[in-house]
Amino acid sequence: MYRVRNINNLRTSKAFTVVELIIVVVVIAILAALVTVAYQGITEDTRDTSAKSTAEQISKKLEVYMTQNAGLPDDLSEVGFTDNGDTTYYYEKAGASYFCASVTVGDSSYHVTYDESQAQSGTCDGSGGGGGATLPPLVGEWLFNEGTGTTAADSSGNGYALSRIGGSNAVWVATGHSGAGFKPTASWYFERASFGGDILKTWTVTLWFKREGATTAQWSE
């Protein structure tokens, strides 16, 4: 009787150990799944933050470049950004100051444009990645940085140079936003008689100006 009881106890003990093992395995599997999901979430957040931060850095670098060179670079590598690992860039420009630049880190993408320095989710429209940030079709762009003469060149490439009316060269100023600039008066301004078919379009005008007597650091768009 004693021997049988011991055998039964042994069998019961072995069965209980197997159940415990199964429970431990299930718990480990659940914890592993939770850790994986949490890690993926952290990785995605890190990529999202990196893409947004980098896009805003690009905006600042391009603004500095425009101020120093009176125009935009041909490629983002000129301001220190090149594809690296899972980080890729897209950049397009129109004229001397219109641009869209996007950064993609893994599955996260953010873009900045000439009129939006705070990064927005998505890519530039031209990159094919979606996002809808589209550069406007430029009618003309005039930097007014000639510093002398009677003509303001059109840097958009459309050939719409402006002609100066009235005044003298004294209204050119040496400290414009990018290079030189000009000071308009009631009798001194630039004009163009015709813009061809483009005159029928809805126009958006963007300009940089400075208050009389203010420093060049106070230029506003």
Q: DSSP string covering 122-145, please? A: S-BGGGTS---B-PPPPS------
Number of domains the chain contains: 2
Name residue, tokens 């003298």: 168
Q: What is the mean pLDDT of residues 213-220?
A: 53
pLDDT tens, 128-182?
555 556 666 677 778 787 777 788 888 777 788 888 766 655 577 776 666 677 7
**Same domain assignment for residues 11 and 111:** yes
**Same domain assignment for residues 113 and 180:** no
pLDDT tens, 196-207?
665 555 666 666
Decide: 16 and 80 in contact? Cβ < 8 Å.
no
**Same domain assignment for residues 8 and 52:** yes
State which of 136, 163, 192 marks the end of a domain. 136
* Confidence bin at 56 (pLDDT 50/70/90): very high
Whole-model pTM above 0.75? no
How many Cα atoms within 13 Å fall on the side-chain side of residue 15?
A: 6
What pLDDT is attached to residue 16? 56
Q: What is the chain's mean pLDDT, rounded?
A: 74
Tokens of 19: 């159940």
**Same domain assignment for residues 126 and 181:** no
- Is 42 within the bounds of a domain? yes
**Same domain assignment for residues 96 and 27:** yes
Q: What is the mean pLDDT of residues 8-36?
A: 66
Decide: 162 and 192 in contact? Cβ < 8 Å.
yes
Kindly state the DSSP code that residue 176 receives in the 8-state scheme.
-
DSSP 81-127: ---BTTEEEEEEEETTTEEEEEEEETTEEEEEETTEEEEEES-BGGG
pLDDT tens, 63-121?
888 878 878 898 999 999 999 888 999 998 877 778 899 999 988 899 998 888 788 88
State which of 136, 170, 190 marks the end of a domain. 136
**Same domain assignment for residues 130 and 165:** no
Decide: 80 and 54 in contact? Cβ < 8 Å.
no
**Same domain assignment for residues 174 and 129:** no
What pLDDT is attached to residue 55? 92
Distance CA 106, CA 35 (A): 20
**Same domain assignment for residues 169 and 94:** no
- Is 69 within the bounds of a domain? yes
**Same domain assignment for residues 103 and 156:** no
**Same domain assignment for residues 208 and 106:** no
Q: Where in the sequence is the domain holding 61, given as residue range(s)?
A: 1-136
**Same domain assignment for residues 127 and 156:** no
**Same domain assignment for residues 180 and 113:** no
